[in-house]
Structure 1
Amino acid sequence: MNTTLGGDKKDRVLLKSNGATTYFITDIANHYNKLSRGAQKMIKVWSADQAGQIRRLRFALSHFCDPDKQLSIVLYQMVRLFRSREEVKFSKRKGQTLTIPNLLELFDVDAVRWLILSQSISASIVINIDKEKKQNSKNTVSYIQYYSRACRIIKNVERSTKIHECKNFNLLTGRCERRMIVQMLSLEKLWHKINYSGIHLICAFLNSMAPLFNS
């Protein structure tokens, strides 16, 4: 396929001389299958070192869809792991890798989710094992969970008690109360900036909301 027409550095082989198919044609077929089954939007989550494959794939898909509208590729940067203030170097060749099951041996599921979602995909994901293991106010997951528990309490109250709308905000004289309201009002503007690649903005909002709530 003449993928150089789409900006690729060289044309790509689809069928080898012995008749065997390449991974590229299998990947094309996989995307075609998704579209033929009614997919309107395909979101691919790739590692940053796969960025060189984007142009060839978009060119191939342009033959049967509009990749500008129907394909989005999210590139995650590499993970940096720190232990005892020193960075742990990864190497596939030496077998020094970190998988999700490895992380789950160190942290619970909620902590792993937060570690990944709270950091922008445009920067390296930094995991500090010693810091995240501490169950105190410096550990974000343990701090945020109190806000989550309070939300559940409010939901339970709503089921059993009628909550009246506040019509006089002048009654809220506490500085912390007012700061919380201002912070909550900022969520609407923030929401318009959030998409599948900006989930970390929600985490940042919760991170700023929790200390106000807990104070």
Structure 2
Amino acid sequence: MAQISSNQVQAQSSRSFSIVSIVTLIFGVIMLVGTFLPATSTPVENLTASTTPVLILSIIAIGLALWVLYDPRTRLAGAVLTAIIGLIAVISLFNFVSVLSTTVTDAETVVHVGAGFWVSLVGTLGLLVQIFLPRPPLEGVYGQAGIQEFTARLGILGELIGFLWKRKLYWLIPMVLTLAIFIVLIIAGSNSAIAPFIYTLF
């Protein structure tokens, strides 16, 4: 009987394991590595404070990924929190470009952006994309019931996500998230030098 129970636990553990958790951890490490690379191609003063939030967020993202690997039942909460971390990191990176644009001319802003910015941006986008990657189903309160409870707390947005998910319109969910990101960027950068760039993207 003990052997059967052990086999059941191992089978449940194998079903619960998700390669997406490993991918999320890798993106968090990429984001962390980017913070140690040169953020600008040439030395620019007064930019250290602008890169510090990305460093802190990358450490939090790595911690969340390890948390999900340790306890797969926390997968839903981990995925949502990681996506929020990614969204905040995107805003921080755009804020970095905004601060850089006040130091150099607008025409030189992209030229002065270094490898560290682009590496961190790749890791940040990975933290956003991971929430849409398929994961093995989980049983119990952390599974389907947990998802339904989470979407119910989101109100109209949760109903929209549930509607798209049930009809397998997964490709529309990133578009909704992208629009939300642009709304935040437009509000946060309305008075900055990169506002025309954000409006052009929108």
Fold match (TM-score > 0.5): no
TM-score by length of 1: 0.21
Instruction: With a CA cutoff of 8 Å and minimum separation of 6, indicate the structure with the bigger relative contact order.
Output: 2
* Higher-strand-fraction structure: 1
* Higher-helix-fraction structure: 2
